[in-house]
Amino acid sequence: MTLNGKFNKLKESLRQMERVVIAYSGGVDSTFVLKAASLSNLKRLLAVTASSESLPSDELSLAEQTVFSLNIPHRIIKTEELKDENFSNNPSDRCYYCKRELFSLLRDIAVKEDFCYVLDGTNADDAYDYRPGRRAAVEMGVRSPLLENGLGKEEIRKLSFELGLPTWNKPSAPCLASRFPYGHKITAGELKKIERAENFLKKFRLKELRVRHHGSIARIEVMPEDIPIFMDKKNRDETVNFLKSLGFKYVTIDLQGFRSGSLNG
């Protein structure tokens, strides 16, 4: 099937759902689902974004701006996953507990306000990745139209570009909790420390960026071609001084470079 054929099939499947709530993170996949839904002659459509300590504040602002530009109803709800020790103790299936809370809240909205389905942005490529949050979606009856219609990440980026979506080339932005090794207790203060560190480093216009939290050590991951930025003495000194001011004792650059899920192993 051609890419346009897949897109038309996606829109038809969405149209048949009639009234949907979409878990909207502001990323490439959920923005594409939102746009496709808006083109599918649905009877009702609502985007819902979860705000918590795990979500960087600039990601929340971008999500708000994007939904506003698409002229789609949007609601921000508060989630409190840190109050659940199953999440804050940071086991390997941490994401399951976070998604279970989110989908439970979205399902409540759907039931109370007469929506037919709750949707998320899981795509076809995610089926081959470690995603414990997927189990929560299945348990809660959440539909994943991109997965159901066989659309992978690169196809979604291409269609997003053709649709003029600002997220078409947006880097992935997993929650701040993903910066901690499994078993390391997650607190609001430590999440804020990571957010401040990454916000500072964004001034270097890095293609990808993660500050991994290893207790007293901050391990910076960037693309290999961006590592030389930190060989400049001024940049290096600014980075070390700022991250130490946050409470880190050691500041390191990972010579392997950025890789998604580097703490999963």
Q: What is the mean pLDDT of the segment spanning 214-219?
A: 96
**155 and 206 share a domain?**
no
Mean pLDDT, rounded, for 149-166: 96
How far, CA to CA in Å, does 233 sit from each of 202, 208, 239, 253? 17, 21, 10, 14
**In terms of domains, do 51 and 119 share one?**
yes
Which of 162, 185, 202 is the last residue before a domain boundary?
162
Backbone Cα Rg of the chain: 19
Task: Let me know if residue 171 belongs to a domain.
Answer: no
> Residue 106 is part of a domain; what is its CATH number?
3.40.50.620
Q: What is the pLDDT of residues 75-128, one digit of tens each?
A: 999 999 999 999 999 999 999 999 999 999 999 999 999 999 999 999 999 877
The reply to whether 154 and 194 lie within a common domain is no
Closest by Cα among 145, 202, 198 to 6: 145
pLDDT-derived band at 1, boundaries 50, 70, 90: confident
pLDDT at residue 167 greater than cutoff 60? yes
Residue 114 and residue 207 in one domain: no
Q: State residue 134's pLDDT score.
A: 87
The model's pTM:
0.90
Cα-flanking dihedrals φ and ψ of residue 220, to 5°?
A: -90, 125
pLDDT of residue 253: 96
Regarding whether 210 and 84 lie in a shared domain, the answer is no
pLDDT at 261 over 70: no
Residue 10 in this model has a pLDDT that exceeds 60: yes
Structural domain containing residue 111? 3-162
Residue 208 lies in a domain: yes
Q: How many helices (H) and strands (E) does the chain have?
A: 10, 7
Residue range 222-249: average pLDDT? 97
Same domain, 22 and 134: yes
Residues 200 and 158 in one domain: no
Question: Over 80: is that where the pLDDT of 241 sits?
Answer: yes
What value does the mean pLDDT take over residues 133-156? 94
Asked if 87 and 113 sit in the same domain, the reply is yes
When divided into structural domains, the chain yields a total of: 2
pLDDT at 20 over 80: yes
Q: How confident is the model at residue 215 (pLDDT cuts 50, 70, 90)?
A: very high
- Examine the domain organization and report whether 122 and 195 are in the same domain: no
Please answer whether residues 104 and 140 qualify as being in contact, where contact means their C-beta atoms are separated by less than 8 angstroms: yes
Same domain assignment for residues 110 and 192: no
Q: CA-to-CA distance for 79 and 194, rounded, in angstroms?
A: 19
Verify that 157 and 186 share a domain, yes or no. no
CATH number where 233 lies: 3.30.70.2210
Point out the domain boundary residue: 162, 187, 214: 162
Whether residue 262 has pLDDT greater than 80: no
pLDDT of residue 35: 97
Average pLDDT, the chain: 94
Looking at residue 128, what is its pLDDT?
Answer: 74
Question: 20 with 54: CB under 8 angstroms?
Answer: no
- Whether residues 155 and 180 share a domain: the answer is no
What is the pLDDT at residue 33?
97
- Are 210 and 254 in contact by the 8 Å Cβ rule? The answer is no
What tokens appear for 111 in the block? 């039931």
